[in-house]
Structure 1
């Protein structure tokens, strides 16, 4: 009888495959269109304009969330706050678009961050991924000041049952979207970890931010 791959590693392999597909289709737009723009596993923002994003909404992402051992009865995260930079936001659920790319919050909800349901639940082993815009055509967005966060800063994530988890920032980096560190961001971790992702850097000729800002955290 063939051996069965442990559920955690099947999930990790699927997550990394999805992330890699997103990277291959990376794109941020400086103007909105009626069709969904393929997105990286990061928030996309355009200079002085709208952020690119999926045509779907957070409500459709919940049904795409896989069933996981030990997590069936755990509520998902509903709120994030970062006192040191003044961030307070509810969390919408983000899944995958029809083309396999990761959803980002719609531009009109730029002040709201999202939790990628294909990642881990905050408080369980593995990386929980929160995605937010830097700017949209509506102005400053939820993660506009994420670049100012410092190592040791506190990130508070509250779940639907009212339990607040405290994460501590362990580092941050700005990376080119062409060299996104997929395994470092989405790969398995022994403890409960957190990743906050937004766009960063200069803009290309089409108004696409060329970098991502990634903030790493661990459960305190």
Structure 2
């Protein structure tokens, strides 16, 4: 079981961490050589405990044609969340330190918009609208459905860490990808965040 109080306290320590920058613009763009990522409460000790539900295995978003396996994502040495490797841009990843999708808390799934190999799994995420269904199936074959409630484009310099990763009593899901124009190093300057809540129990 997660410990929201400890994780919420840790969130406040991450205000200076950079946000998701692992995406590229595709062909012709300057590509970042690092594995930069999303801010998160590093060293919170609030990861899932033994006895939790089965890990998520697949995400499906029919409205935008996404049907992807889920890679497990951990933390980089600097305390930021990993992103899927560029060569697996067609596959999304679940941050294992967040809630298990469908359980109480905020579950976080991250995917590239584009990589040097072309369009990636969340390329069309900006087309998602409130009311759309997101289905996450776990390794035991159980599917949790979520309804999109809002989308938000934010500057990576002002990533809403508390809003995305902070404690919540709801069974929430957040999808994150890159968005916006590119800086001088070829990094997208924004993040696109999709907020969703579980449908039913």
Alignment of 1:177-196 (within 5 A): 177-196=156-175
Q: Does 1:13 align with 2:27?
A: no
RMSD of equivalent CA atoms: 2.2
Aligned to 2:35: 54
Q: Does 1:76 align with 2:52?
A: no
Alignment of 1:4-43 (within 5 A): 7-14=3-10, 16-17=11-12, 19-23=14-18, 40=19, 42=20
Q: Does 1:164 align with 2:135?
A: no
Q: Post-superposition, which runs of at least 4 consecutive aligned residues in structure 1 deviate over 6 A?
A: none
* TM-score for both structures, normalised by structure 1: 0.78
Aligned to 1:60: none
Structure of higher RCO (CA pairs closer than 8 Å, 6+ residues apart): 2
Moved more, 108-117 or 46-55: 46-55
Structure 2 counterpart SS, 1:44? coil
Q: Gapped runs of 5+ residues in structure 2?
A: 37-44
- Residues 52, 80 of structure 1: CA spacing in aligned structure 2 closer, same or farther, 3 A cutoff? farther
Indicate the structure (1 or 2) with the bigger Cα radius of gyration: 1
Q: Indicate if the aligned counterparts of 2:7 and 2:46 stay in contact, CA closer than 8 A.
A: no
Higher helix share: 1
* TM-score for both structures, normalised by structure 2: 0.85
Indicate which of 96, 100, 106 corresponds to 2:79.
100
Aligned to 1:3: none
Q: Gapped runs of 5+ residues in structure 1?
A: 1-5, 24-39, 56-63
CA drift of 1:44 comes to: 2.4
Structure 2 counterpart SS, 1:22? coil
Aligned to 2:47: 66
